[in-house]
Amino acid sequence: TQLLEQSPQFLSIQEGENLTVYCNSSSVFSSLQWYRQEPGEGPVLLVTVVTGGEVKKLKRLTFQFGDARKDSSLHITAAQPGDTGLYLCASYGNKLVFGAGTILRVKS
Amino acid sequence: KAGVTQTPRYLIKTRGQQVTLSCSPISGHRSVSWYQQTPGQGLQFLFEYFSETQRNKGNFPGRFSGRQFSNSRSEMNVSTLELGDSALYLCASSRLGQGTEAFFGQGTRLTVV
């Protein structure tokens, strides 16, 4: 089973700051998904990346897939309190495997 | 389009009891997967059902079981509850399962006392 490591585990920043969270694996990802989970809710899919070197943008969120497809990053520009939540990366083998997540808290 | 509905939202059970959780997927979705989420272990895959057949199973004891009905609704059952079974149980539906977008319900918060 593929293991996904996410860092940092916890991030607390002020509104307007930029941040990056990471997802790494010792083996190649077939595809990688990023989810955000708010308290009391289930995870919501943000993006799926498939191709090595791929970059996708979703408003203030930029997702990057490493050239070797063994790492990915999520960069948030000018974070807002509404970005607060648990950010999870996940990869499909024969099942969806999740990383432990990064808890992001954006203070106003 | 209605989302994934899980019932009940909250549940308190005593050790040794059993519990059944329900998940109604998005209309037209044939795959339903179940996950257990705890602070210590994160999100862990329990099993996936597709067209009433279990297609994949995670590393959980046999006390955890599930089924899927012809209308794609799914139930999971946990027998002989243990304190460590306290968790958020999440259900996700997708059209075809593996590799396709999964939509999660709000989960059932199970507390075993």
Residues 6+ apart with CB under 8 A from A46: A33, A34, A35, A36, A58, A61, A63, A74
Q: Which residue has the higher pLDDT, B65 or B2?
A: B65
Express each pLDDT in A25-59 by its tens digit. Answer: 988 888 899 999 998 899 999 999 888 899 999 99
Average pLDDT over residues B16-28: 97
Report the C-alpha gap between B5 and A42 in whole angstroms. 11
Structure tokens of A61?
Answer: 């969120």
Please tell me which residue of chain B has the smallest CA distance to A86.
Answer: B42
Interface mutation vs chain B, best among A44, A50, A96, A97, most B CBs within 10 Å? A96
pLDDT at B99 over 80: no
Residues 6+ apart with CB under 8 A from A4: A23, A24, A25, A89, A90, A91, A97, A98, A99, A100
Residue length of chain B: 113
Shortest Cα–Cα distance, B58 to chain A (Å): 8
Interface check for A46 against chain B (CB to CB < 8 A): the answer is no
Average pLDDT over residues A57-70: 94
Determine the pLDDT at residue A12.
97
Under 8 Å CB pairs connecting chains A and B tally to 46
Q: Which helix (H) or strand (E) holds A46?
A: strand A44-49
Shortest Cα–Cα distance, A97 to chain B (Å): 7
Shortest Cα–Cα distance, A94 to chain B (Å): 7
Report the C-alpha gap between A106 and B24 in whole angstroms. 34
Asked if A42 and B43 come within 8 Å (Cβ–Cβ), the reply is: no
Report the C-alpha gap between B22 and B75 in whole angstroms. 4
Interface check for A31 against chain B (CB to CB < 8 A): the answer is yes
Residues 6+ apart with CB under 8 A from B39: none
How many C-alpha atoms does B89 have within 13 Å on its Cβ side? 33
Shortest Cα–Cα distance, A14 to chain B (Å): 25
Interface check for A100 against chain B (CB to CB < 8 A): the answer is yes
Determine the pLDDT at residue B1.
61
Report the C-alpha gap between A97 and A103 in whole angstroms. 18
For chain A, give the mean pLDDT.
92
Determine the pLDDT at residue A33.
92
